[in-house]
Structure 1
Amino acid sequence: MRRDPLVLPLLALLLVAGCTAAQGEPTPTGSGEPRATATKSHPKPRRQPYTISFAGDVHFEGVLRTRLDGDPRTALGPIASVLRKSDLTALNLETAITTGGTPAPGKQFTFRAPPTAFAALKAAGVDVVTMANNHGMDYMEPGLKDTLAAIRKSRFPVVGIGKDEAEAYRPFRTTVKGNRVAVIGATQVLDSQFIQSWTATRDKGGLASAKNEPRLVQAVRQARKASDTVIVFLHWGTELVKCPTPAQRSLAATLVDAGADVVVGSHAHILLGGGYSGQAYVQYGLGNFAFYNWGPDTGTTGVLTLQINGRKVLKDQWTPARISGGVPIPVTGAGRQQALSAFRALRGCTGLAAAPDA
């Protein structure tokens, strides 16, 4: 059968076009966009265990203020070498960041520090702080404005405080060795006359309050959806009381049920016990850390370091220290074992276990 003389050239063109498309070259589509070419899929990085350290209350009042004038790497003293070893470090910054403002009326103790505090903390190996505590707004609304401005300028990660409720309860998020970590800050301790004025709302700046328990639970549940590890850092407890209060134990259980893997906190000025609640780790009181007030009990401190993989807390370690000159000095020699035994004994009144559930 005779072929049309135009058929062979047409077939050749079709073969060329087919080969070109098969090789992944872009060809026009109906939308005018090139057709997507095949790409290799990259596997999600595998999680590996990471370490996170926690420390208690820090301000820069009294003997500590001058430490901000020197090398920021030495502001927290020799304990910084412990903080820097961890993949992540968090503590409670118990002060307003302002050089102005008016002290909160009726408060016996008010704390404030200049913005250089953030540089000192960063240089000491601290990665994130919570400012949700009963001193975070010691210089009232003007002090809050200065604090938020200093946070923005320094770009230092801070939780538990914000221009509104959404910002105050928003977690700090980071990825460490493949683990998506979320850290939330909130305070269960507020002077009664300031509960309303210091608590962040939809249209007012302030602190994340654990007294608004449903809102804190909501923050934990939201963080759980997109995190491998959810951590809540609280300001809680009763000053100089060595055992957790019923309010602390109730809140810890509620937060663990909501999805928190680690719940830690401070406020009592002394150490409280810690341990496991099921698979979660709870620490009821980290004590003073860099603080102008120290004595036999209030000067006993240290660093809690957890090794975590996803939701599993694999190991807990306590580095004991004593406050001297306002800063923590790691305990060495014969006193170290005694300090470790004393810390472990604090677990006795917590209802927590020495190891996670099998």
Structure 2
Amino acid sequence: MRRVCAAVLAVTVLVVAGCSGADGPATPAPQPVTIAVAGDVHFAGSSAAALEPGGLDAVAPLLRAADLTVVNVETAITDGGTAAGKEYTFRAPAAGLGRLKDAGVDVAAMANNHGLDYGRAGLTDTLAAATAQGLPVIGIGQDADAAFAPYRTTIKDNRVAVFDATQVLDSSLATAWTATGTQPGMASVRTEAGARRLVDAVAAERSRSDSVVVFLHWGKELQDCPTSDQQDLAHDLVAAGADAVVGSHAHLQLGQGYLEAGGRKGFVDYGLGNFVFYAKKARTVETGVLELTLPGTGGVSAARWEPATIRSGVPVPLEGADAQEAVRHKESLRPCADLAAS
């Protein structure tokens, strides 16, 4: 934990950078870091192009430009297991995680309604593949403690924590897919108890990390305004200490902006859209990379939307007038999200 500076009685301590104490060296003050986040990734259909060498080259510069990059991986990483009894099930080889890492992704958020499409055997394979490919995963684990644990790293003396959880699970599978004290699965905030656990975890993390980000799988498919459940959870997380709350699921972009809650200010993006996906319809191919600057002293000091479009299953950044129009469209979604522009 960072040491707090104080003047005690008549003793004056001169601090040039960070804090110091008689029993230890100065702790450097956190410097601003950038974190890039992007939406839903699978490797089914046309998005299998991302498995090919160079398949993500077009978007890789955006992913690599940030100090830390996180995307939502919406597929089991396995060649085995048994498909769940649902309309859509996704799985991909371990090489998929490797391709994401090569393109600049640092962390895979995997709490969503497809992460366990191939059962607990698929979950075991996913965790093993993450280790083998060297790409950390969050939101899933062998029990609830592991699933709700954040990814932690220190960049430029800025201690960053990233949580992942899902509000979206098929009702027939929710019990089997939710991690508990004795059951593998994912961090679910579908219930009040799950949401409270995440909020409490964020509040506890606030005292040990300089920057706290929460990635969520949430919203209603093909609805470009957030639900009341999304808004309530975003409010509670910002009030608890989250500097940024971002997510995806709707297959569309939703509004982004600043939210004040509990005397704190945080940045919220309710919908990042699809990212590496077999999308074809007009609004479902609208995508992008959100880059946030986290000063390490609370909140988000800058946010930049880098628009892209999905072509043949993979994201391709937009330029010129097309990019400007895409940014305007993203901004037009803010009013129904009830967020501030600055």
Which residue of 2 is the match for residue 238 of structure 1? 220
Which of 133, 136, 147 is matched with 2:115 structurally? 136
* Cα pair 1:55 1:91 within 8 Å, conserved: yes
Q: Which amino acid aligns with 2:93?
A: P
Aligned partner of 1:312 among 290, 299, 308: 299
Aligned match of 1:328: 315
1:28-67 pair list within 5 angstroms: 41-67=24-50
Residues paired across the two proteins, number: 313
Quick one: distance in 1 between partners of 2:124 and 2:24? 46
- Is this contact kept in 1: 2:163–2:213, CA < 8 A? yes
Q: What amino acid does structure 2 have at the position aligned with 1:285? A: G
Shift of 1:180: 0.5
The alignment partner of 2:232 has SS state of helix
Matched, 1:220 2:202: yes
Distance 1:121 1:156 in 2: 8
Describe the superposition over 1:7-60 as per-residue Cα deviations: whole angstroms up to 9, x where unpaired: xxxxxxxxxxxxxxxxxxxxxxxxxxxxxxxx9953222321111111000011
Moved over 4 A (4+): none
Q: 1:322 aligns to what SS in structure 2?
A: strand
Deviations 1:62-83 (A, max 9, x none): 1232542x32xx2324011111
Alignment-derived partner of residue 142 in structure 2: 163
- Which residue pairs with 2:174 in the alignment? 195
CA contact (8 A) 2:48 2:313 kept: no
More helix by share: 1
Q: CA contact under 8 A between 1:52 and 1:87: conserved in structure 2?
A: yes
Residue from 317, 331, 334 that aligns with 1:347: 334
> SS state of the match for residue 193, structure 1?
coil
Q: Counterpart of 2:42 in structure 1: which amino acid?
A: H
Pick one of 292, 312, 318 that aligns with 2:278: 292
**CA distances 1:229-278 after superposition (whole Å, capped 9, x unpaired):** 11110000000001000010011111112111110000000000010012
Write out per-residue CA displacement over residues 92-125 of structure 1, whole angstroms, 9 at most, x where no aligned residue.
00000101111101x1110101111111111110
The answer to whether the 8 Å contact 2:275/2:287 transfers is: yes
Residue 134 of structure 1, CA deviation: 0.2
Distance across 2 between alignment mates of 1:191 and 1:331: 35
Of 221, 225, 235, which aligns to 1:253?
Answer: 235
1:182 corresponds in structure 2 to 161
Secondary structure of 1:313's aligned partner: coil
The change in CA–CA distance for 1:79 and 1:248 in structure 2 (over 3 A counts) is same
Structure 1: how far apart are the matches of 2:225 and 2:267? Answer: 17
CA distance in 2, matches of 1:75, 1:218: 40
1:85 partnered with 2:85: no
- Unpaired runs of 5+ residues, structure 1, are 1-38
In the alignment, is the contact (CA less than 8 A) between 2:267 and 2:299 conserved in 1? no
Aligned residue in 1 for 2:288: 302
Gapped runs of 5+ residues in structure 2?
Answer: 1-21
Question: Bigger shift: 196-205 or 337-346?
Answer: 337-346
- What is the distance in 1 between the residues matched to 2:180 and 2:55? 34
Q: What is the alpha-carbon distance in structure 1 between the residues aligned to residue 134 and residue 320 of structure 2?
A: 39
1:59-138 paired onto structure 2 within 5 Å:
59-68=42-51, 70-71=52-53, 74-105=54-85, 107-138=86-117
* Paired AA for residue 72 in structure 2: N
Aligned-partner Cα distance in 1 for 2:282–2:47 = 19
The amino acid that maps onto 1:302 is: G
TM-score, structure 1 as length reference: 0.85
Structure 2 length as normaliser, TM-score?
0.89
SS at match of 2:253: coil
* Greater Cα radius of gyration, structure 1 or 2: 1
CA separation in 2, counterparts of 1:67 and 1:240? Answer: 24
Quick check: 1:77–1:328 contact (8 Å CA) kept in 2?
A: no
